[in-house]
């Protein structure tokens, strides 16, 4: 009875449930977009990783993925993770997930993201992502949060983005300067 005053913590303990279950709920670790030339176009990390480590991982992974041939399967084991990737024109979309996570749904997650970009930019190309990188990030954020799907409906995601766009104040002077 000694630990009845422990508050929420004590409450958790008293239930003495089987606290550690095997990990079934898995998380995406990061997502990368890079070109065939090995230029990184977008990176999103869902687990705190140091800059140095990030750079190393990006370099290593790009090398592995770029070396793969077209007909090979879209999944590969890399370090302790599984990498799911797909190439769209000159861009590689790459997600790192945990070993037991669902590979196919991740592959379609990439596809859905490409569709969203496509819809927003109107047949998207690498240049769109280079010059409107912030949009690419915003769309990704609307779609995924912390590595989990927030909404799979194309409509909902695009609606959110369009609403945001409406809020932008258009100033003629600005758009000139933006060119530079």
Partner 1 sequence: KSKEAEIKRINKELANIRSKFKGDKALDGYSKKKYVCKLLFIFLLGHDIDFGHMEAVNLLSSNRYTEKQIGYLFISVLVNSNSELIRLINNAIKNDLASRNPTFMGLALHCIANVGSREMAEAFAGEIPKILVAGDTMDSVKQSAALCLLRLYRTSPDLVPMGDWTSRVVHLLNDQHLGVVTAATSLISTLAQKNPEEFKTSVSLAVSRLSRIVTSASTDLQDYTYYFVPAPWLSVKLLRLLQCYPPPDPAVRGRLTECLETILNKAQEPPKSKKVQHSNAKNAVLFEAISLIIHHDSEPNLLVRACNQLGQFLQHRETNLRYLALESMCTLASSEFSHEAVKTHIETVINALKTERDVSVRQRAVDLLYAMCDRSNAQQIVAEMLSYLETADYSIREEIVLKVAILAEKYAVDYTWYVDTILNLIRIAGDYVSEEVWYRVIQIVINRDDVQGYAAKTVFEALQAPACHENLVKVGGYILGEFGNLIAGDPRSSPLIQFDLLHSKFHLCSVPTRALLLSTYIKFVNLFPEVKTTIQDVLRSDSQLKNADVELQQRAVEYLRLSTVASTDILATVLEEMPPFPERESSILAKLKKKKGPSTVTDLEETKRERSADVNGGPEPAPASTSAASTPSPSADLLGLGATPPAPAAPPPSSGGLLVDVFSDSASSVAPLAPGSEDNFARFVCKNNGVLFENQLLQIGLKSEFRQNLGRMFIFYGNKTSTQFLNFTPTLICADDLQSNLNLQTKPVDPTVDGGAQVQQVVNIECVSDFTEAPVLNIQFRYGGTFQNVSVKLPITLNKFFQPTEMASQDFFQRWKQLSNPQQEVQNIFKAKHPMDTEITKAKIIGFGSALLEEVDPNPANFVGAGIIHTRNTQIGCLLRLEPNLQAQMYRLTLRTSKDTVSQRLCELLSEQF
CB of 78 to partner 1, least distance (A): 10
From residue 162, how far is each of 85, 94, 103 by CA, in Å? 28, 26, 30
In this complex, which beta carbon is closest to partner 1, that of residue 123 or of residue 169?
169
Among 10, 56, 79, 127, binds partner 1 (CB under 8 A): 10
CB of 127 to partner 1, least distance (A): 13
In this complex, which beta carbon is closest to partner 1, that of residue 114 or of residue 125?
114
From CA 120, how far away is CA 59, in angstroms rounded?
30
Among 37, 67, 123, 155, binds partner 1 (CB under 8 A): 155
In this complex, which beta carbon is closest to partner 1, that of residue 76 or of residue 125?
76
From CA 6, how far away is CA 21, in angstroms rounded?
24
Among 1, 4, 8, 122, binds partner 1 (CB under 8 A): 8
What residues from 109 to 148 belong to the interface with partner 1 (CB under 8 A)? 109, 111-112, 133-134, 137-138, 141, 145-146, 148
DSSP reduced 3-state for 43: strand
Smallest Cα–Cα separation from 26: which of 143, 106, 86?
106
Binding residues with partner 1: total (CB under 8 A): 77
92 and 83 Cβ atoms separated by less than 8 Å:
no
What residues from 15 to 34 belong to the interface with partner 1 (CB under 8 A)? 15-27
* CA 178 remoteness from chain centre: 27
What residues from 59 to 118 belong to the interface with partner 1 (CB under 8 A)? 69, 71-77, 80, 98-100, 102-105, 107-109, 111-112
97 and 106 Cβ atoms separated by less than 8 Å:
yes
From CA 114, how far away is CA 93, in angstroms rounded?
9
Q: Does 179 bind partner 1 (CB under 8 A)?
A: no
């Amino acid at each position: 009875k000694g630990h009845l005053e422990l508050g929420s913590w004590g409450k958790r303990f008293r239930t003495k449930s089987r606290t550690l279950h095997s990990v079934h709920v898995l998380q995406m670790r990061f997502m990368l977009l890079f070109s065939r030339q090995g230029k990184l176009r977008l990176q999103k990390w869902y687990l705190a990783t140091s800059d140095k480590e990030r750079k190393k991982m990006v370099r290593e992974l790009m090398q592995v993925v770029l070396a793969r041939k077209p007909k090979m399967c879209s999944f590969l084991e890399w370090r302790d993770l599984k990498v799911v990737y797909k190439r769209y024109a000159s861009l590689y979309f790459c997600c790192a997930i945990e070993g037991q996570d669902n590979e196919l749904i991740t592959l379609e997650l990439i596809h859905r993201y490409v569709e969203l970009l496509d819809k927003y930019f109107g047949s998207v190309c690498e240049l769109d992502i280079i010059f409107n990188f912030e949009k690419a990030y915003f769309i990704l954020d609307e779609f995924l949060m912390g590595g989990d799907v927030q909404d799979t409906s194309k409509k909902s995601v695009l609606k959110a983005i369009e609403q945001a766009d409406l809020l932008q104040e258009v100033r003629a002077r600005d758009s000139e300067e933006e060119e530079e």
